[in-house]
Amino acid sequence: MVNVVEDYLARDRAHKEGQRNLERRRAQETQSPNEPGADGWPKGRTRPKLRPIECPECGGDAAETEKGNVVCSSCAQAAEWGRFHDKMRQERLEKAGLLKEPLSKYTLDSFEADTAALRRARRVVVDWLMGFPYSHGESVLLWSDGYGVGKTHLAHAVHRELLITGSSVTFFFVADMLSSIRDSYNRDSEETEKGIVSRARSGNVLVLDDLAKEHVTERGRPWFHDLMLRIVDYRYNTGRSMLITSNASPDRFGEIVGGAAASRLYRMLGGRIVDMSGPDWRMK
């Protein structure tokens, strides 16, 4: 009786082993030649012979194929990161509208500094940009007693450079910002004053283009002073920088933004105030 049981069990094991072998053969026959095998290399393809070498680009561990091609995982990863960051930069510039004319032409390289005042403006801006991300609230004021000297050009160029380097920056043309706040008082508006002020407070850098007295009436001046104080005071206390362009001289800022906001601005500017007054290039 024992022999009969053992014989049955042996036949059962042999049958199951045969079934498993048959299933493996069927799987191998239906497997694509490009599917990875047990070692991770595609079946049906010969694994290339690799010779360990030092990468000539980064100096790290790499391998050289029989055809002399260098394979370096570190360089490949760096190239992939580079492509990713290029894509992100393009998306940031496109979202900010800086890829369309005329804003696409507003760069530091295209800024024509043909006077001493304009050369100083460019130098101050470049030195200021070189301080990021280590600056703590340092700000710049570009002003002139006329138009068409390049203040807005430099403002957009700064916006572009900061976006390219990945800094968080908010750009406001002051007249548009005030118009958006006024529109936010309508019931059907999707924006709120609180939301706009929050945007002006956020980010490492706030660019305010064309800050001028003419944007508000005498009746609305106390409201504008309060608005500017809410923005400037927050940025002053949190060490967030600003770049401001204006057609008003610095000694009129107390009248324009209010004494409290102007006092904080002067501290943030720290002497980075540039008079760009000169001929209007648009009239040439």
| 228 falls within a domain | yes
| 101 falls within a domain | yes
- With vertex at residue 246, the alpha carbon angle to CA 240 and CA 215, rounded to the nearest 5 degrees, is 100
CATH number at residue 115: 3.40.50.300
Closest CA to 208 of 185, 235, 184, 189: 235
| 11 falls within a domain | no
H or E element at residue 114: none
Model confidence at 220, in pLDDT bands (50, 70, 90)?
Answer: confident
| 175 falls within a domain | yes
Containing domain of residue 156, as a range?
Answer: 96-276
| 15 falls within a domain | no
Q: What is the pLDDT of residue 209?
A: 94
- pTM (whole model) above 0.85: no
Is the pLDDT at 228 greater than 80? The verdict is yes
Q: Choose between 141 and 52: higher pLDDT.
A: 141
Range of 69-73, 159-163, 250-254 with top mean pLDDT: 250-254
Range of 150-164, 209-223, 262-276 with top mean pLDDT: 262-276
Over range 62-67, report the average pLDDT: 73
Measured in whole angstroms, how far is the alpha carbon of residue 205 from the centre of its chain? 12
Over range 199-211, report the average pLDDT: 92
Whole-number Å distance between alpha carbons of 263 and 66: 70
Query: In total, how many domains does the chain have?
Result: 1
User: Over the stretch 164-197, which tens digit does the pLDDT of each residue have?
Assistant: 887 888 999 999 999 999 999 898 888 899 999 9
| 18 falls within a domain | no
Closest CA to 95 of 147, 40, 163: 163
